[in-house]
Amino acid sequence: MTQRHSQPLAGKVIVLDAGHQLGNHNFPAQINRPVPAGGFTKPCNTTGTSTDGGYSEATFAWKVTSRLKAKLEKAGATVVLTRKSNREDRWGPCVDFRGRKGNKRHADLKISIHGDGSLSSGAHGFHVIYPPDRAPWTDDIFGPSKRLAEVTKEALLKKGFSVANYIAGGDGLDERADLGTLNLSDVPVVMLESGNMRDSGDAAVMTSAKGQERYARALALAVRTYLG
Question: One digit per residue, pLDDT tens: the chain, 228 residues?
Answer: 445 568 999 999 999 999 999 999 999 999 999 999 999 999 999 999 999 999 999 999 999 999 999 999 999 999 999 999 999 999 999 999 999 999 999 999 999 999 999 999 999 999 999 999 999 999 999 999 999 999 999 999 999 999 999 999 999 999 999 999 999 999 999 999 999 999 999 999 999 999 999 999 999 999 999 999
Report whether 12 contacts 187 (CB < 8 A). Answer: no
* pTM for this predicted structure: 0.97
Q: Angle CA(218)–CA(173)–CA(151) in degrees, nearest 5?
A: 40
Q: Which CATH class is domain 3-227?
A: alpha beta
- Note the pLDDT of residue 89: 98
- Note the pLDDT of residue 1: 46
- Domains of the chain: which residue ranges? 3-227
Q: Angle CA(110)–CA(108)–CA(225) in degrees, nearest 5?
A: 85
Report the C-alpha gap between 21 and 37 in whole angstroms: 19
Q: Which residues are catalytic?
A: 193
- Note the pLDDT of residue 6: 83
- Note the pLDDT of residue 3: 52
- Note the pLDDT of residue 127: 98
